[in-house]
Amino acid sequence: MFNRERQRHVIWRYIRKFKSLYAYFQSKLANILHAKELARRLKEDGVQITANALHPGSVLTDVWQHYCFVNVFASTLGRFVLKNVQQGASTTCYMALHPKVKGVSGEYFMDNNISKANSQAKDTELAKKLWDFSINLIH
């Protein structure tokens, strides 16, 4: 059951400071932290399931359509420097299907390889706090 009162508190607390691009980057960090914490918990419990995070790369999609400058860049030069959708899906498919990744857990992938995430994404205490915060939101 989702706790609506906690949700309202979180939403109203941050609504004045909301910056969409910042929120986007924050959500990407949260994805990495959640994957790392899930991997840690699964391993601790002896569960044979892996959890990883990935960055598909800069893919030519409509995600930037509301940012005028970025949209102009993406629609003109983006075709030459950004990945198409199939290329962007490559790392996801690799992680799901390639035998080399069997048993690999708690990692961050980019371009079909384990990659280095930023320092915040390696913060195990922050990952635990985010996990606990998320659990409290739904209880």
Residue 66 falls inside a structural domain: yes
Residue 126, domain CATH? 3.40.50.720
Residues with catalytic function? 24
Q: What is the Cα–Cα distance from 125 to 32, expressed in whole angstroms?
A: 13
Instruction: Read off the tokens for 76.
Output: 């003109």
Residue 7 falls inside a structural domain: no
3-state secondary structure of 53: strand
Residue-number span of the structural domain to which 111 is assigned: 20-138
Residue 124 falls inside a structural domain: yes
Q: What is the pLDDT of residue 67?
A: 63
Q: What is the pLDDT of residue 59?
A: 83
Number of domains in the chain: 1
Read off the pTM.
0.75
Q: What is the pLDDT of residue 85?
A: 87
Q: Given the DSSP bridges, would you call strands 108-110 and 53-55 parallel, antiparallel or unpaired?
A: parallel
Residue 2 falls inside a structural domain: no
Q: What is the pLDDT of residue 6?
A: 46
Residue 130 falls inside a structural domain: yes
Residue 108 falls inside a structural domain: yes
Residue 72 falls inside a structural domain: yes
Give mean pLDDT in consecutive 10-residue pieces for the chain, a chain of 139 residues.
Answer: 45 59 88 98 97 90 65 68 89 96 97 94 96 94
Q: What is the pLDDT of residue 3?
A: 44
Helix residue ranges, H only, the chain: 4-15, 20-44, 68-76, 78-81, 85-97, 124-138
Residue 107 falls inside a structural domain: yes
